[in-house]
Structure formats: structure tokens, C-alpha cells
Amino acid sequence: MKCRVQDNHPGVRARVNLLLVSLVMFVVVHATPGWGQDTFDAVSRGPIRIRNQFPLSLPFLSFAADDNRLMKRQAFQFDFYYSHSNTFVKSGGIVRTLQSWNGRGVLTREAAAQIAQERPDEDLFLFDTETERWSWNVLYGLSDAVMLEAELPLLRFDGGFLDPVIERFHSTFGFPDDSRPDFRRNTSEAFLHIDRQFLYFGPDDLDGIGLGDLVLSSKFRLLRGGRVWPMLMTRVAIKLPTGDPQKLRGSGSVDYGLSLIASKVFAKSCLHLNIGAVAPGKWQLAPELHFSPIYSVLLSYERFIGKNSSLIVQNLASSNVLAGATDSAIGKVSHEITVGVKMDYRQSLRWTFSLTENYAQYNNSPDIGFHVGVMYLL
């Protein structure tokens, strides 16, 4: 559950950031030397394979956390991932214009249009929804150094069930709620007014499940690694417009991306670094918006904690397409930390369970998310 630390609490913000930095330093210091590809095969299960879950980012290409594993030649692997996240972000001043409904505000299309008309030069936004993302991945080893992958996602938006839980948590522990109680519980709404481009999505527009954009990619080995150098891979990807832009499940255009993946192995642990860049296409619903490239940096620490399991802590910093279109909080770099475990079941199944929380920036990322993954190893 989100502990929203506002800018008028700089002392709390500084302590939160200090705690996160200390955690990263702790896990790095406790990594034990010891090298070799055999160690990597025995220990590394890779980062938690999740991507940016912000509703505004989901229509565009984003790289999921990755490691340096490749499939054997002509081998197949099938993966399934499920993510559930709760998002509540807004710009200031929206509450004053809401229509009252049982003591809580309703952002109708008419109310959103009125807000945009009253403040035409102001950047305004609201994303209040729960998001479920299912993804099916098929991996194929083209050679010992090249792997092909296809990912097909399904996206579901609705009001969900976490709003009352988060509000009670904030109230019990005295955390700021950023006007959450002024809005309807368990409903889905999205409103964006940037550079005079107006977009509104109500429950009738968002609720339900639909196909997202298909992603095709290929991963290549650049460096095997050894005692000094890390293992290096690169991934190239293309996103095809198979999702419905009217339902916020696709952008309606093609995106391209390139990522660099590095892994360094220790005796009972492994560090993974991902650096990604995406060139987004146009957004069919707002073709006049000036979009920026999307950049992401992920650092993941994995610790072997048993014969068939590992503990993983990872941090994701990522921009979004609005970085160059607005100076408001929604265009800033988001920061999310994920903690989870990976467990092998027999020789063919690998399970992942994890939890994600945002920090440092709170108006451009989900409040909380949990994830489940199943990898079928052939």
C-alpha cells in the first residue's frame, strides 16, 4: 500500500530515500566473490520479469527486466506472467470541479471538459484505476547466441478492490492520502489535458479486458563474460499495433526499442543491469502531442537462498512519452522497487512471486503492484 510522501514532507522523503540507498548498499556489500558460467547456471534465476505498469505507459513499448539467459538451439520455452496494480495519480485543483456523488467526487466527461476549458494552458491529469496484465511469451533458440521471442498481452482495467484497503492503511498510520477519499472508490477513470490535447476515459471506455500490442524481439550475445567482465546481451524489439487505442490498450502505431543487458555472477548471488531506449510512434488518440524517447534503467540483485529458490530485490527508473511535453509531475522519471522470490518446481516449472512499491515520485507510477510468473522450461 502506498505511503504517499508529498513535497511538504522533505524530512520523511529524505529518510525514505536514505533507507532505500542503504538497502541497495547492504545487498551489494554482502555479495560474495566467486566466478564462472557454471555458478551462473546453478544460481541465477534472473530478475523479476515485469515492466512499467503505469496506465499511460502500457500502450507503448517497455522492456521487462531481463538477464543473460539464452535458449539452446531449436529449444522452446513458454512463460506466463500476471501483474495487478492500483494507480491513483492526479494534478492539483481537480477536486474543486468534481460533481458530488454520495459525498465523493465523480469526474464525468463533462466535468473534465469544464476543467480543461477553465484552465486551457494548464497541464492536467487523473489516472484512477486498477490494472491487470496477463502476458504469454514464446521463446525459441535460433542458435547458441541468438534467441527469438514473442509476447502477447491482455489488459484489463476496472475499479478493482484495493481502494478501501489503501485508504484505511493511510488513515491508520497517518500517511497523506492526496485526496483519495474525495474520489469514488473502486472505479476507473482517466483524464489527460496536455498541450491542449484532451483525453477522457470513463468506466464505459476502460472497463473490461482486451488484447494489447504484440511485441516481437530478438536477443543476441555480445560477451560471454568471465572473472573480470560481465556477461553482455542486447535485445532489439518492435511493438505492433494490435491493441485498441480507444480502450487505452495500444497506441495505434509501431514502437522500436533497444536494450543492453549485463549480468555479473558471484558465489551465491548475481547482479543484473538493464538499460533500455524506446522510440515511440504516434499516439492515435493524441497525434499532435510531442513524444520523447522512453529510457529505463533497472538494477537487480539476486541472492541464492536455497537449493531451488532465490530472493530478488530490484529498482526500476523509467521515463515516459510525456517527458518532453510537460513540466508537471506526470512527465518526471518514475522510481519503483520490487522484492520477490523465484522458486523451481521439479525441472520444468519456475514460479515467481513479487511486490512493487513506488517512491521518490508519486504522480507517474502505480501505488502498489503484485506479480506472479510461471515459466515452463522445456
For the stretch 65-118, pLDDT in tens is 998 888 889 899 999 999 999 888 888 767 666 654 444 566 778 888 888 888
pLDDT band at 167 (very low <50, low <70, confident <90, very high): low
pLDDT at 36 over 80: no
Helix (H, G, I), strand (E, B) or coil at 303: strand
Q: Is residue 46 part of a domain?
A: yes
Q: Which residue has the higher pLDDT, 291 or 12?
A: 291
Residue the block writes with cell 499495433 = 241
pLDDT-derived band at 25 (thresholds 50, 70, 90) equals very low
Written as nine digits, the cell of 153 is 498481452
Across 52-72, average pLDDT = 91
Give me the pLDDT at residue 143, please.
92
Name the residue with cell 500502450.
59
Helix (H, G, I), strand (E, B) or coil at 378: coil
What is the average per-residue pLDDT within 136-147? Answer: 94
Strand partners for 76: 140
Burial environment of residue 25 by CB neighbours within 10 A (0 to 12, 13 to 18, 19 or more): exposed
Q: In this structure, is residue 121 part of a structural domain? A: no
Handedness of CA 52, 56, 57, 60 (dihedral sign): positive
DSSP SS3 for 298 = strand
Say if 170 falls within a structural domain: no
Average pLDDT, the chain: 81
| Residue 354 domain-assigned (yes or no) | yes
Instruction: Give a yes or no: residue 249 inside a domain.
Output: yes
Indicate the pLDDT class of residue 218, thresholds 50, 70 and 90: very high
Amino acid 227: pLDDT = 79
Place of cell 502505480: 366
37 occurs within a structural domain: yes
Output DSSP code: residue 40: H
- Mean pLDDT for 228-253 is 94
Task: Render pLDDT for 282-318 as a digit per residue (tens, 0 to 9).
Answer: 999 988 888 999 999 999 999 988 888 899 999 999 9
Q: Are 52 and 294 in contact (CB under 8 A)?
A: no
Residue 134 has pLDDT above 50, yes or no: yes
* Number of C-beta neighbours around residue 299 at 10 A: 18
Residue 111 lies in a domain: no
Residue, of 234 and 20, whose pLDDT is higher: 234
* Mean pLDDT to the nearest integer, 130-137: 94
Higher pLDDT, 341 or 14: 341
Query: pTM for the complete prediction?
Result: 0.82
Q: What is the pLDDT of residue 33?
A: 39
Instruction: Name, of 38-52, 119-133, 176-190, the range with top average pLDDT.
Output: 119-133
Task: Give the separation between CA 133 and CA 151, rounded to whole angstroms.
Answer: 12
- Res 17 pLDDT > 50: no
Which DSSP letter does residue 329 get?
G
Q: How many domains does the chain contain in total?
A: 1
Condensed to tens digits (0 to 9), the pLDDT of residues 311-341 reads 999 999 999 999 888 888 899 999 999 999 9
- Rounded distance, CA 299 to CA 285, Å? 34
Classify residue 95 by its DSSP letter.
G
Q: Which domain holds residue 281?
A: 10-85+131-156+210-377
Whether 209 shows a pLDDT value over 90: the answer reads: yes
Q: Sorting pLDDT into bands at 50, 70 and 90, what band is 179?
A: low
Nearest to 40 by CA among 72, 73, 67, 76: 67
- Extended strands (E) in 197-308: 197-201, 208-211, 214-223, 231-240, 255-265, 269-279, 294-306
pLDDT of residue 176 exceeding 80, the answer is: no
pLDDT, average across residues 170-183: 57
Confidence of residue 356 (pLDDT cuts 50, 70, 90): very high
The answer to the question of residue 271 being in a domain is: yes
**Three-state DSSP class for 71?**
coil
Q: Are 1 and 367 spatial neighbours (Cβ–Cβ below 8 Å)?
A: yes
CA separation (Å) from 236 to 40, 219, 239?
24, 7, 11
Nearest CA-CA partner of 70 in 9, 135, 149: 149
Q: Which of 213, 190, 163 is CA-nearest to residue 58?
A: 213
Check which CATH number belongs to the domain holding 215 and give it.
2.40.160.40
